A and B are shown apart, each in its own frame.
Chain A
Amino acid sequence: MSLGLIVVLLISPFAGFLINGLFGKWLKGKEKLSGWISALAVFVSFACSIIAFTSVRGGGGMSGDEGILYEWIKGESFAFNIGFHVDALTTVMLLVITGVGFIIHVYSIGYMHGDSGYTRYFAYLNLFVFAMLILVLGNNYLMMFVGWEGVGLCSYLLIGFWYEKQSATDAGKKAFIVNRIGDFGFLLGMFTLFAAFGSLDFTTIFDSADAGNFQQIFGASTLVIATLLLFVGAVGKSAQIPLYVWLPDAMEGPTPVSALIHAATMVTAGVYMIARSAVLYELAETGEVVAWIGVLTAFFAATIALAQNDIKRILAYSTVSQLGYMFVGVGVGAYASGIFHLVTHAFFKGLMFLTAGSVMHAMANELDMRKMGGLRAKMPITHWTFLVGAMAIAGVPFLSGFWSKDEILHSAWAISPVIYGIGLITAFLTAFYMFRLIFVTFYGESRVESGVASHLHESPPVMWVPLAILAIPSALIGLLLGWGGHNSWFHHFTEHVFPKAHGEASGNMLVFMGISSVVGLAGIAFAWIRYRERVPAAEPTHALHKLVANKYYIDEVYNAVIVQPIKNGSHYLLWRILDTGIIDGIVNGVAAAIRLIGGTLRRLQTGLVQAYIVSMVVGIVLFLAYYLFVR
């Protein structure tokens, strides 16, 4: 594998961004051209990814010095390089990003048809792919951070894409602010690593960490602090408790964006980061924290999804929940399983978002499933593809989600049966809410408003073909790559990347698979019993339902506890206890003081020529006095 290949892989979407960004004016009338250019750009990357993949499979790869493109800046005792790290993990991510990315680009050509910001949309989308590629290709934390910020920026721009809608810009702001908290953690983690290792290169850090050859800046807990800080970054980016609140709101963006950025790729960056830093998490033994946060998020988000009626929101909470599973996987040391779930999830969740988009397309942007029903007849392809996705996520045997989820749960059992138990309950809930969605939307009586019903139609080929294409891997990829559980092809492919899992998975795998299947099918059956004929009530009836339907009032709680105190400047007790509150107060105080000084000094600028001359002369006199008397 040559560096040139990776450079082409990386630059291609950037070129697409430039063409769409700069020549948007000329592309205005030629929508199709604009869309296909950017899709082609991603396809080129996809082709390069396949070459890179075959090369890695043949034992190739790129790490350490051979991946260095050039030296970026150099200090006294350190140097930052621009370079790439390509191994099995990287190529898996590359294939997901460019593969799913390409399909979603194609889908967008149809979906965004007629939008006034057509070229702007594709410019942002290509820029996103570019940033995501930097994130996974970099051979050091600095490049990862640059990509990390880049995808965050694109996500923000795309959430607020329809800026005329107040809710869209609000959602963008929320995503931005919440992510800053996470990024701050990531940044601090990076600083800690740099202070300890004097470098940010993966190879250097992992080798020195293995050898115990680094500066213990926080005593023996250096690595613990560093990994936890990095995890804060992951919590923000991958929407885990307590920073998950931005992701459901992010659904304000165009649906293909939700599919690509907020389901398949960007939100999984945190999982990728932990898998990449596996060596550090193993040494620091902080994986359990990750797993606990993950499983709690998985359960919590699944309960919220139970009572939502907005299709995209259900999918969003489902994403949060599935991301929780991935964290459980990487947290319990089953890195390959976590990444495997990332891959399968990218396909089936991407698929479901796109079908949701197809439904929206037909329903004139209606998202409330209570106003749907019986869509199966009018939109057969959408129905079937969605069904495949839902079965995959519900863990129906032999579909992709079944394999990856089962591996994670199996590995979790070895670490903590409690995590396993919660994970199993979540699996039941997942199957239940997904099929609730299916039954209410596609089955039963049609509740579609008459005006909309008349032009209810299946989506055009440019949209349904991608759905069909995505449905195939959603169904089969688990079987192909995951057959054999911990001895599967996927595990063999990635075995050199990750440290050996510390707890050997115990118990008979078939038993676990059986339990998972039963739980998943039970969820589906329960949904069938309950929602085959019925429609969710317009208003939640009892207290628990109300609590869940209102997402545990978390947004309201955050608003009351964090946002309002800041806004009012009043210091609630809780706020004051928190260290951040005090630190924040100091920061704000300093800012206010500086502003005050600035405002005062500003008055010296009177606009009078002679005042300026006086200040010059005073300056001269003072300096002369300094020479005459001080020295």
Chain B
Amino acid sequence: MPIEINWQLLMPELVIALTLIIVLIFDMFDSISKTILGWLTIVGAGIALWVSIQMQQAGTVGTQFNDMFKVDSFSLFFNIIFLISTILVALISLSYLGKDDRKQGPYYLLILLATLGMMLMAAGNELIVVFLGLELMSLSLYVLAGYFRDNPVSSEAGMKYLLLGAFASAFFLYGIALIYGGAGTTSIPGIASNLTAESQSPLLLGGMFLLIVGFGFKVAIVPFHQWAPDVYEGAPTTIAAFISAGPKAAGFAAFLRIFMEALPAMQSQWGDVIILLAMLTMTVGNVIAIAQTNIKRMLAYSSIAHAGYVLIGLAAANNEGISSVMLYLLVYCVMNIGAFGAVILAKTTDGECLTISDYAGLGFRKPLLGLFMTLMLLSLAGFPPTAGFVGKFYIFKSAVQAGHTWLVIIGAINTAISAFYYLRVVVTMYMREPEEELEFSPYPSTLVVGLILAVIGVLFIGILPSLLLNSVQNSVL
């Protein structure tokens, strides 16, 4: 039995893997300046992004490794999301890590590893692959969260993320085992074909439920969300941006793939749970976010709430829903990384401005920073003409089509609540007088470039959504 490998199908993953190895080798030599590693990461991810876009445009479809690995427009679109996130995060990291050369090697290595894990999750056509991708991603993130070993808070974030994440992974794995028992296979198309309305054993039901728990943890759905604020606050800000973006999208990618492709026959069982979780997640995330004073924690709760909005699209469980979720995740990644980037930009000589009251008067004193922050927050709040509005609009529209009008009403109320805390930051920036004059560091140009890219993305999608929308609608499962 000869083995055929279609290398072209694997190009994006191979490029990332190759970049990984190059970064690894370069990092071994102390004579090489470590800032090169960051640029290597950006270049590698950029090539992979370009390849993914080409393949996506060409409509490449195919499976590999005994059907365990599936490349289609869906996985390629998610690759684009992951790679954009990686590039943006690498850009904002270049100046954040500073001149401390020794540390940078493993940092970019781990980011690339996590990216590879995400890509595996989106392309996994077999629960084993999804699990491996998930773990590859998670293990890298645990280390990254605790990356500032000299900082007790960073270590604490790493430990919490690790303990809770491993706990959730165990549930996820057990869920796979139960589904394996119930369906007799772990292949996604296999499960779908073995699954008929009458053959649903309690094993399957339990397995499906534990998968929700596992994914729920990774994408921070209430009540599995509590790690998020602590980890976001403790982790390096760039990593908080990273965790909030790509991995969340990856979690939803696998979530969509498994639930829409393997378990559509059980939709009557998981449909209303998703609706319930969506309501709970949006409301709890937004309500607690109002009470926050630390901007990183506020963004953490906001990202929880955003997972709730995405669940609305998932609950719709139609083509519209899937495409709106994909669009939303892309938009969300760009604007969230942008918001964290703006937080990094607000750096005084004493460190980062993390308390919201530190932002008083910044709108006038630092107009560029004010502009970036305001745009990102407006987008997160869903104001037109930003990308956030377009994303929410299509999510809500898909839910209305699926008949979940109540869910949309709750979503709209939540959007109103969220505007309150997003705008509070904007108001603080433009309407409050600073209590003390803070000394600000000059803007690092790479960070500004990263933010400009995010701004362009947010405005471009917001003003010209149709271009992207067509691409998304052709990429549904």
Contacts and interface: CB of A to CB of B under 8 A. Distances in A.
A492 interface: no
A157 to B, nearest CB: 8
A612 B223 CA distance: 9
Given A601-B284, A605-B229, A169 B364 contact: yes
A24 B443 CA distance: 12
Given A72-B465, A627-B205, A602 B288 contact: yes
Contacts of A609: 159-160, 163-164
A245 to B, nearest CB: 17
A73 B433 CA distance: 39
Interface string B86-119: 0000000000000000000000000000000000
A359 B168 CA distance: 72
A554 B440 CA distance: 41
B229 A598 contact: no
Interface stretch (A49-57, A107-115, A589-597): A589-597
| Residue of B205, B223, B289, B365 contacting most chain A CB atoms (<10 Å) | B223
A24 B205 CA distance: 60
A553 interface: no
B69 interface: no
Contact of A160 (B164, B291, B364, B464): B364
Interface in B297-335: none
Contacts of B224: 616, 619
Contacts of A605: 226, 229-230, 288
A19 interface: no
A21 B290 contact: no
A612 B227 contact: yes
A598 B223 contact: no
A44 B420 CA distance: 40
Q: How large is the interface on A (under 10, 10 to 19, 20 to 34, 35 or more residues)?
A: 35 or more
Interface in A518-561: none
B365 A73 contact: no
Q: How large is the interface on B (under 10, 10 to 19, 20 to 34, 35 or more residues)?
A: 35 or more
Given A598-B288, A605-B226, A616 B361 contact: no
B217 A616 contact: yes
Interface in A44-87: 70-73, 75-76, 82
Interface in B335-380: 361, 364-365, 367-368, 371
Nearest to A593: B287
Given A73-B393, A619-B223, A595 B384 contact: no
Contacts of B195: none
Nearest to B383: A149
Nearest to B361: A163
A161 B420 CA distance: 26
Per DSSP, are chain A's interface residues mostly helix, strand or loop, or mixed?
A: helix
Interface in A611-626: 611-613, 615-616, 618-620, 623-624, 626
Contact of A598 (B167, B269, B289, B361): B289
A24 B385 CA distance: 25
A146 interface: yes
A215 to B, nearest CB: 19
Interface in A151-201: 156-157, 160-161, 163, 166, 169, 172-173, 176
B168 A616 contact: yes
Interface string A581-607: 000000000010011011101101101
Contacts of B452: 22
Contacts of A146: 384-385
Given A146-B384, A601-B288, A627-B209, A70 B464 contact: yes
Given A160-B364, A163-B361, A609-B163, A618 B287 contact: no
A380 B393 CA distance: 60
Contacts of A75: 393, 397
B21 interface: no
B364 A73 contact: no
A313 interface: no
B311 to A, nearest CB: 14
B466 interface: yes
Interface in B398-433: 400-401, 417, 420, 430-431, 433
B223 A618 contact: yes
Interface in A6-31: 21-22, 24
Contacts of A405: none
A341 interface: no
B18 interface: no
B397 A613 contact: no
A120 interface: yes
Contact of B465 (A73, A123, A161): A73
Given A73-B393, A169-B433, A613 B167 contact: yes
Nearest to A590: B417
Nearest to B443: A25
Contact of B466 (A71, A611, A624): A71
B368 A598 contact: no
A601 B287 contact: yes
A130 B229 CA distance: 40
Across the A-B interface, the 3 shortest Cβ-Cβ residue pairs: A619-B223, A598-B291, A163-B364
Given A156-B430, A605-B288, A626-B273, 14 more contacts: A70-B464, A72-B466, A73-B393, A157-B364, A169-B364, A173-B431, A591-B420, A597-B287, A599-B291, A602-B291, A612-B160, A616-B213, A619-B224, A620-B171
22 contacts: A70-B464, A72-B463, A76-B400, A120-B367, A160-B364, A161-B364, A173-B431, A594-B417, A598-B288, A599-B291, A601-B288, A601-B291, A607-B230, A609-B160, A609-B164, A613-B163, A616-B164, A619-B222, A619-B223, A619-B224, A620-B171, A620-B209
Interface of A: 21-22, 24, 70-73, 75-76, 82, 120, 123, 142, 146, 156-157, 160-161, 163, 166, 169, 172-173, 176, 591, 594-595, 597-599, 601-602, 604-605, 607, 609, 611-613, 615-616, 618-620, 623-624, 626-627
